[in-house]
């Protein structure tokens, strides 16, 4: 796919795709809180870009109407299993003349762990609704598994992309070759693993994010009870090594949220790096943790041309992810 590339998230968006949380069998008593956090996120994004929102019923449409009165949004009756469009929606490529096309990959429910009805058809139906050209591949790739800087550089993890529950017939070389061909990438950088209890087997968008070409944000533990101390220390050490080698230009560390527990006292995969970069804002998930404000402040300095805000994401996190996991920029 010569001349086509996957743009960085800070490049201009035509729209943001979202899906409204509605299935109580998935969200339980967190549903209303998750809906509230979703609407706050959507309103913040909708201040600067069009929203394309998947909904299933008239009642949910009414909630959107009340909360997004000042936003440009459209509702779509596309069936979906759950709201994690980062992984189930298509990738959108661009070229040097402003053209746009979509790329779709096979879907297997994060390694056949959470295979919900309709999720495997979301990407194709979004493409059909837009009427744009698309290429489909028969190997598995989720959007949260890769992070790009728009110049061809890509971050990912071995825990996810080399996991035998994704593409068992493909080794690291095959994965790299396929990524380069499908998305216009030139260099793949591999970190080892992600956060404890990450349902996605180590998605990159909770442990390392680009904020400019060659410049990366990561997290560091602030207390000894941080469940990700070992992994975060390994990640930052690797990133700093790549910086010393000239592969990366800059590495910035912010505090980790630390130990965040759910109502069953189980560790949640909380990350400040699961932010969404809209056309005018950077929206950072917060968890009522001691380092919420510090993390937002550090991220803000990395995006001086945007307003950085923190919004609660702990209810959405009960489903397994946060803001970046439920958004897909077009």
Q: What share of the chain is helix, strand, coil (3-state, %, to 5)?
A: 35, 25, 45
Backbone φ and ψ of 267, nearest 5°? -70, 130
Could you say which of 16, 154, 160, 325 is catalytic? Answer: 325
In order of 172, 189, 281, the CA distances from 157 in angstroms are: 11, 8, 27
Q: By three-state DSSP, how is residue 231 classified? A: helix
CA dihedral sign of residues 48, 49, 54, 57: positive
**In this structure, how many other beta carbons lie within 10 angstroms of the beta carbon of residue 136?**
13
Question: For residue 211, is it left (φ>0), alpha (ψ between -120 and 50) or beta?
Answer: alpha
The reply to whether 222 belongs to the active site is: no
CA dihedral sign of residues 298, 299, 303, 307: negative
CA Rg value for the chain: 18
Query: Which residues are CB-neighbours of 65 under 8 A, at least 6 positions away?
Result: none
Tell me the catalytic residues: 325
């Amino acid at each position: 796919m010569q001349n086509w590339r996957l743009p960085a998230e800070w490049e201009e968006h035509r729209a943001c795709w979202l899906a409204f949380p509605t299935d109580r069998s998935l969200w339980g008593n967190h549903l209303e809180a998750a809906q509230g956090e979703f609407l706050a996120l959507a309103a913040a994004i909708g201040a600067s870009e069009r929203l394309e929102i998947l909904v299933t019923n008239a009642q949910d449409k009414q909630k959107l109407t009340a909360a997004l009165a000042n936003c440009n949004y459209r509702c779509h009756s596309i069936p979906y299993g759950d709201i994690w469009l980062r992984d189930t929606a298509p990738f959108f490529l661009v070229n040097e003349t402003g053209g746009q096309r979509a790329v779709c990959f096979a879907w297997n429910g994060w390694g056949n762990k959470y295979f919900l009805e309709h999720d495997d058809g979301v990407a194709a139906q979004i493409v059909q609704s837009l009427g744009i050209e698309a290429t489909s591949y028969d190997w598995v790739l989720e959007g949260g598994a890769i992070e790009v800087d728009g110049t061809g550089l890509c971050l990912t993890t071995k825990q996810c992309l080399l996991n035998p529950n994704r593409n068992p017939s493909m080794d690291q070389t095959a994965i790299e070759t396929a990524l380069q061909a499908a998305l216009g990438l030139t260099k793949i950088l591999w970190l080892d693993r992600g956060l404890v209890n990450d349902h996605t087997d180590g998605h990159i968008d909770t442990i390392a994010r680009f904020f400019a070409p060659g410049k990366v944000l990561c997290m560091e533990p602030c207390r000894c009870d941080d469940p990700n101390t070992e992994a975060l220390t390994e990640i930052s050490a690797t990133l700093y090594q790549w910086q010393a080698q000239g592969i990366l230009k800059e590495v910035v560390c912010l505090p980790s949220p630390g130990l965040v527990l759910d109502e069953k006292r189980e560790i949640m995969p909380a990350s400040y790096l699961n932010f969404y970069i809209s056309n005018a804002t950077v929206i950072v998930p917060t968890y009522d943790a001691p380092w919420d404000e510090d993390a937002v402040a550090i991220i803000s300095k990395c995006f001086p041309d945007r307003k950085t805000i923190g919004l609660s994401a702990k209810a959405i996190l009960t489903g397994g992810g946060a803001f970046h996991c439920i958004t897909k920029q077009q």
